[in-house]
Structure 1
Amino acid sequence: MPAAALKNKPLPTQSTAKRSVLFDSPYAPMAKHRLPAGRPREWYVTHNRRLKAMRLAIALLDSGVYLANQAHDETIRSTAEEIGVHPPSNTTCHMVRALMRYSR
């Protein structure tokens, strides 16, 4: 095994999670695209919430949180901080857990 693979990963700083969340690769912001015009406002809110929940669920899975009951609100919010998105609402946290529950 190469010596580079044996190095310890740096610990995250100022995390509010009970369990540390480490990422193997950095997350870059997605390219923004315009959404279709003429839809009701609620459609846009739901669409953006689903995208955010999906990004958070993927980041949690990448960090080793595989079960929905391991993804507490504070874990999800600290993951959001790590990947650079605004802290999710309670509804979005619930949606993240639902996505993780049905991803198996």
Structure 2
Amino acid sequence: MPVPAAALTRKPVLFDVPYTPLEKRRLPAGRPREWYITHNRRLKAMRLAIALLDSGVYLPNQAHDNRIRLTAERIGVHRPSDTTCHMVRALMRYSR
């Protein structure tokens, strides 16, 4: 099946304004405390993984605990635990 010519000549879309995060919403009530802890840990791990990727750290074996913690300090996130550092490396590993 031939590919349409329009699909081959797409140009990148340029953004006029920088990225702004969405408005925060309250978390749903009534969940066990462990759910909230895990949820917030995943969000923190995602923020750290994105910051590491932006800084040029692409492989999980390059993301040592010290580098993750320095990145957290640089972007203004509280110091991550060993579990969160492990989660950051796991996110980097499975995103491929």
Relative contact order (C-alpha < 8 Å, sep 6+): which is higher?
1
| TM-align CA RMSD | 1.8
Stretches of structure 1 lacking an aligned partner (at least 5 in a row) = 1-27
1:32 shift after superposition: 3.3
Aligned pair 1:87/2:71, yes or no? no
In 1: Cα distance, 2:66 partner to 2:37 partner = 23
Residue 102 of structure 1 is matched in structure 2 by: 94
TM-score w.r.t. the length of structure 2 is 0.76
Q: Which has the larger radius of gyration?
A: 2
How far, CA to CA, are the matches of 2:22 and 2:41 in structure 1?
15
The whole-number CA distance in structure 1 between the counterparts of 2:49 and 2:81 is: 14
Which residue identity is paired with 2:24? K
Name the structure with the higher helix share.
2
Structure 2: where are the runs of 5+ without partners?
1-19
For residues 90 and 30 of structure 1, the distance between their equivalents in structure 2, rounded to whole angstroms, comes to: 29
> How many corresponding residue pairs?
78
For normalisation by structure 1, the TM-score amounts to 0.70
